[in-house]
Copies of this chain bind each other. A is one copy, B any other.
Amino acid sequence: MSKTKVHRLGDLQLKIMKVLWDSNEATVADVHQSLAGERDLAYTTVATMLRKMEARGLARHRVDGRSFVYRPAVGSDAVTRGMSDHLLDRLFEGNLADMVSHLLTTREVSREELSKLEKLIAERKKSL
């Protein structure tokens, strides 16, 4: 089991993962392109990061001509889950209700969003 620690992704790594998840396969140039505007990084920065990420088990690559084509090695679900869990544990000692309640009480939520959540909770309750 590789047990890739998927709960500690830096900002850049996460952004890169998102590109990979969206495109499923991407060359360094593709990723660099996708990130342009938002972040103005050197091409080599992206390349280096991708190599590091592969070493960490976050991505894999295959060779196409002279280029490396990267693809994600972990799913976005696992990452989202891992990172959320990490925060949940660290901040709320694993108490989910505490976390949700904190989220809900400390910021703006529209009536629509609340209704959506109400529906979600109702559904969830039924399936217990």
Tell me if A96 counts as interface (CB < 8 A to partner B). yes
Inside 8 A of A128's CB, which chain B residues have their CB?
A: 111, 114
Number of copies: 2
A78 to chain B, nearest CB (A): 10
Give the chain B neighbours of A118 by CB distance below 8 A: 118, 121-122
The CA-CA distance from A16 to B9 in the complex, in Å, is: 22
A-B contact pairs, 21 of them (CB 8 A): A11-B90, A14-B91, A80-B102, A81-B106, A84-B103, A96-B103, A96-B107, A96-B109, A96-B113, A97-B113, A99-B103, A101-B117, A104-B120, A104-B121, A104-B124, A111-B128, A114-B124, A114-B128, A117-B121, A118-B121, A121-B121
